Structure 1
């Protein structure tokens, strides 16, 4: 990672959040998220807004490269209902050639100043991505609320098979609500911090590992986690209440 990269990315993240707040896209039922993983942890969206839709924002600051952008967009386009690429001014022309139809483009013309070049189109969630955004607990709750019984001990695969019988619009709504519940606490911490220290210094509070913070959040640890590419049948991949995790090996 190049020197200055974290600060440059955080600057643009803060600008995206401020634009969303100023545009009144964030209400009492909305949730902002930083570094949200999708597609079995293989991709991380820089900023996500869950309101009436799931918005994904992929950021490329002046110290980044665009080589990974096509692959990122191919995944994000299936997991978010609106998708926006946010780039430093030097990447504008190159980004226009790389983004597919339906994906929006915002450009940072000056530090912290964003301009919309292309407005994103709504791309409805399909069944498989909607299911992937829900944990097994989320799926059980959805099915139980829809009258399905005897699923307490059912494995995730069985829950997904039953859920596939429901309208995709219902699954999309359930996925959106699940994401909001999962990240509600970190969003609330961010709102509290932002009121005290401003958006730039509060951005790190949006990371989900801060969701249990109850005391001072002035010194939040920062981690750059690698993107993992794990097979569905990985022997150490198990379903935990908060999602899929790697089971710890026992020492011999």
Structure 2
């Protein structure tokens, strides 16, 4: 399996395992959530009364970026778990703090099995400043009281310094639930007992495609296309048309 298709396959396997463990029933589910800049994305995030992040490292990935990712994720999310291919397992165990969860992508890359080696516990690095990075400036201004406050994020953060972790978390969860409610509900209603790659399309907040019309290979290609499109700008109309049901 090539590197581009490994990611959606692993993500579907993870969501299947979380679904079987009843971790999704009361959660808003997000895929590729931007955290602290476009170059930093959390593979899967769950929001209920807490925020949980899952970072996937397939057999085709390296661990070069993992320390920096964990430095950010453990400051934003109550719980962070690394989901790693078997070949990375020893290195991941050596890299991550004790409170970071560890799961293994075991077996064949085309049909990985999720093995839980350590459940995540509450991060000791949580930061109000990092949590509030998950809010756009206009929402942050509203949370802080609205009228009379500056427009620039840097100035708003000066007003947010006294906010508690609990209040910052509640504000972020409310925002994420509102923003991703429709896509998360579409995913929950469409995915069966075992999550397929095509079910991931429903987690695209502005998706225009019916996932039921695609097989898993086509769904993987669409997932790759969407991700590349975010990196390199709007695709030509004829390419979009080829992937989109009119």
TM over 0.5: yes
1:186-197 paired onto structure 2 within 5 Å: 186-195=183-192
Deviations 1:148-207 (A, max 9, x none): 362477443443333333323111111122122222222122223324994322113213
Tell me which residue corresponds to 2:210: 216
In the alignment, is residue 47 of structure 1 matched against residue 48 of structure 2? no
Asked whether the equivalents of residues 31 and 184 of structure 1 are also in contact (C-alpha less than 8 Å), the reply is yes
Name stretches of at least 5 consecutive residues in structure 1 with no aligned partner.
Answer: 229-252
Question: How many aligned residue pairs are there?
Answer: 218
Alpha-carbon distance in 1 for matches of 2:8, 2:42: 13
**RMSD of the alignment, in Å?**
2.7
Alpha-carbon distance in 1 for matches of 2:18, 2:87: 23
Q: Which runs of 4+ in 1 moved over 6 A?
A: none
In the alignment, is residue 137 of structure 1 matched against residue 138 of structure 2? yes
Tell me which residue corresponds to 1:231: none
2:187 aligned counterpart, secondary structure:
helix
Name stretches of at least 5 consecutive residues in structure 2 with no aligned partner.
Answer: 232-246
Tell me which residue corresponds to 1:62: 59
Per the alignment, do residues 176 and 97 of structure 1 end up closer, same or farther by CA in structure 2, a change over 3 Å counting? same
Greater fraction of residues in helix: 2
2:191 aligned counterpart, secondary structure:
helix
- The alpha carbon displacement at 1:41 in A equals 2.3
Tell me which residue corresponds to 1:114: 114
Asked whether the equivalents of residues 193 and 202 of structure 1 are also in contact (C-alpha less than 8 Å), the reply is yes
- The alpha carbon displacement at 1:31 in A equals 1.0
Tell me which residue corresponds to 2:128: 127
Alpha-carbon distance in 2 for matches of 1:149, 1:201: 40
Alpha-carbon distance in 2 for matches of 1:80, 1:186: 21
In the alignment, is residue 175 of structure 1 matched against residue 172 of structure 2? yes
Alpha-carbon distance in 2 for matches of 1:83, 1:197: 23
Per the alignment, do residues 167 and 73 of structure 1 end up closer, same or farther by CA in structure 2, a change over 3 Å counting? closer
Alpha-carbon distance in 1 for matches of 2:115, 2:146: 50
